[in-house]
Amino acid sequence: MTDTSSGADCHGGPTGGTVVTGAPRTALVGSPNAGKTSIFNALTGLRAKTGNYPGVTVGRSVGVFRAAGQDFIVEDLPGTYGLEPVSPDEQIVTDLLQGRLTGVESPDALVVVIDATTLWRSLRLVSQVLRLHRPVCIAVTLTDELVTRGGRLDIPGLERALGVPVVRVIGNRRVGIPELRTKIAGWRSWSRPVLDPPTDPAELEAWTESILLASEYRPAQPDKTTQRIDAVLLHPVWGTAIFVAVMVAFFQIIFSFAAPLQGLVETFFGWLADLVDVFVPVPWLAGLLGDAIIGGVGAVVVFIPQIMLMFLLISLLEGVGYMCRAAFLMDRIMSKAGLEGRAFVALMSSFACAVPGIMATRTLPSAKDRIATMMGAPLMTCSARLPVYILLIGMLVSPESRIGPLQTQGVIMFCLYFLGAVSAMLAAWIVKTVQERNGLLMPFYMEMPPYRVPTLRSICLTMWDSSRAFLRKCGTIVMLTTIVLWLLLNFPLHSTAELTASGVDVTDEGAVTSFVMDHSAAASIGRAVEPVFAPLGFDWRVNIGVVASLSARETFVATLGQIAAADDPDNPSAALAAMTYTDGGHAGERVFTAPTIAALLVFFVYALQCMSTVSVMKRETGTWKWPAIAFGYMFVLAWGSAWVVHGIVALATGTA
């Protein structure tokens, strides 16, 4: 799979992306669409290590390759159009290049990646990098496209004019990669320009012209195919219609196509758990292995189909060039939330699940926008809320009830989706406004590259990278939470004698489960938090459901089902509706009154009851600060709104 054509040994040396200290460091500098990342991937194969720069939400990729018996570290810097920073992301690049970034070694040599079709503009970045007085080499990409669009560029001429080595590279087709590796290996002997490029605007303009002249540069003609496609895709009417169609298809695919795959994953892990039940005779051990550990792994793996599908679609749309067109169409609407067009896709994906939605914020160039979108994304109605909504709405109104010609249940469902979406935009807007209260408003600019056919390799790489990152960084947290919750719900253990002594029929599985749960650590927690949730009308059993739903919302349905099943195993939903308070001042009264159900619904709209979301936020931002803020503000919002709604519905229905 990885390239071996360079003759250099790709397989020896430290593998798995471990970064050796002391090895020469090369950084790739370039603008966002220049093809930096495909060069980085081609250079380092699948041995890249991704993470964050210390203390910031800016992603960092570092990889190693081996040439001439030595390791070379390559770092893919965030894309930038210039070295005079206008955003925190670009500040990182500037600081790193000037060796002012604490905790990060400054690079020994720099490779500037420039796109031959935008050479004129790109020379300005080259001039800024040359003034850093580091060893510099230029990698020119997209020369093939330049030629097909009627342009030309003489590479040796460019090399002579700039006074630094120039390599022609086509990252996706791996042209020039061995040469670039050899060049980097010999970084100490790179030629340096005699004079610095000028800083004065007029002189810089003259310098640029002279370089273009010396390299016999003829600019590419506008791409005819792109012009024809854009006439349709960016048309005020057709373009908007196609955009809506693309988004509906996108949503359908990650929502419905992933569902059967996720069903398969669930069935497989269910089957594994059954196997454990059959072969492990000790019930608590079987429970621990089957429900907690296998269930925990399953809870992680179940996200993989959705994440892979979403990244397949995103990298396709991005690779083809549609993503920036969609952002162009949506920018005005998203700007109302203080965001830009590209944030739309991330928020849209969150309708399926906030986990891929938060990972999709990687496509946003500004760190502030990424944070703001992440803070809003969990409020979009994800698929895990759906079973909870269906159960609760079913208990609240009958399917026959209508508002005009519309089914009330459907209207309530729509209102919940709408409430989520509006709240998400509002949350993003607030976070963005607070962050920008004393900063410069980021200018918005977005390159519109011609339509291109992405390589299968680059798409597969994106899918692989995102799934691997999710499994490695989030897997452990989700698994741990699942195990802890299982322990809370099932411990302390009860012997058969103890059960019989308490009057439980040990042959009745439902009764045993119910007894274990009633006397579990989770029940103690449910009772302990009763004062917190009492104003919302939740009793301790609902609290168990809320506590259990911390791992994932849909467990709320299962937990309540288990509790209710104990009373009437044949008809758990009827038992649930008829459930009454067991003790306290309300003893004997129904738990699921209209105000309580309404409060629960609103609570589920706002509360961040999803440890997968929390852990993916931690992974993407590199700190616990943002997930903590998100969890905190959403809990306060959930409790507050549920309390208000409980009060309003109680007044309206006359049930205090």
Partner 1 sequence: MRMTSRADGPRAAVTLPLPDPCGLEALPIGVPARIVDVGHRGTAPYSGRLGDLGFVTGARIELLRRAPLGDPAVYRVRGYDICLRLAQARGIRVTTTL
Q: Are 126 and 114 in contact (CB under 8 A)?
A: yes
The piece of 409-417, 445-453, 591-599, 627-635 that touches partner 1 (CB under 8 A) is 445-453
Among 16, 103, 201, 503, binds partner 1 (CB under 8 A): 201
Q: Which residues pair with 403 in a beta bridge?
A: 406
Q: Which lies closer to partner 1 via its Cβ, residue 45 or residue 450?
A: 450
CA distance 74 to 67: 12
Residue 482 in the binding site for partner 1 (CB under 8 A): no
Contact string (CB under 8 A) for partner 1, positions 68-87, x = contact = -------------xx-x-x-
Nearer to partner 1, 339 or 384 (CB): 339
Closest CA to 74 of 49, 98, 102: 49
Interface residue with partner 1 among 250, 328, 344, 556 (CB under 8 A) is 328
- Using CA atoms, how far apart are residues 404 and 387, in angstroms rounded to an integer? 26
In contact, 28 and 137? CB cutoff 8 Å: no
How many residues can be counted in the chain? 656
Minimum Å gap between C-beta 124 and partner 1 is 5
Q: Which of positions 373-392 make contact with partner 1 (CB under 8 A)?
A: none
Number of residues that bind partner 1 (CB under 8 A): 36
Least distance between partner 1 and beta carbon 453 (Å) = 18
Burial class for 635, CB neighbours closer than 10 Å (0-12, 13-18, 19+): middle
**Contact present, 168 and 143 (Cβ < 8 Å):** yes
Exposure of 165 by Cβ count < 10 A (0-12 exposed, 13-18 middle, 19+ buried)? buried
Q: Which of 454, 360, 656 is nearest to 535 (CA)?
A: 656
Q: Judged by CB, which is closer to partner 1: 240, or 573?
A: 240
CB of 33 to partner 1, least distance (A): 9
Asked if 198 interacts with partner 1 (CB under 8 A), we say no
Contact string (CB under 8 A) for partner 1, positions 206-245, x = contact: -------------xx-x-------x---x-xx-xx-----
- Measured from the CB atom, is 19 or 214 closer to partner 1? 214
* Region label for 133, one of left (φ > 0), alpha (ψ between -120 and 50) or beta (otherwise): left
Q: Which long-range contacts (CB under 8 A, 24 or more apart) does 569-575 make?
A: 569/510, 573/391, 573/394, 573/395
Q: What one-letter code names the amino acid at 236?
A: P
- Given the DSSP bridges, would you call strands 25-30 and 109-115 parallel, antiparallel or unpaired? parallel
For the segment 333-352, give every residue that binds partner 1 (CB under 8 A): 333, 335
- State which of residues 307, 309, 324, 575 lies at the interface with partner 1 (CB under 8 A): 324
Binding mask 97-136 for partner 1 (x = CB under 8 A): --------------------xx-xx--xx-----------
How far apart are the C-alpha atoms of 371 and 433, rounded to whole Å?
12
Nearest to 641 by CA among 362, 420, 376, 465: 420
Q: Decide whether 149 or 183 has the Cβ nearer to partner 1.
A: 149
**Mask 240-259, x = binds partner 1 (CB under 8 A)?**
x-------------------
Does residue 655 interact with partner 1 by CB under 8 A?
no
**Residue numbers at the binding site for partner 1 (CB under 8 A):** 81-82, 84, 86, 117-118, 120-121, 124-125, 201, 205, 219-220, 222, 230, 234, 236-237, 239-240, 324, 328-329, 331-333, 335, 440, 443-449
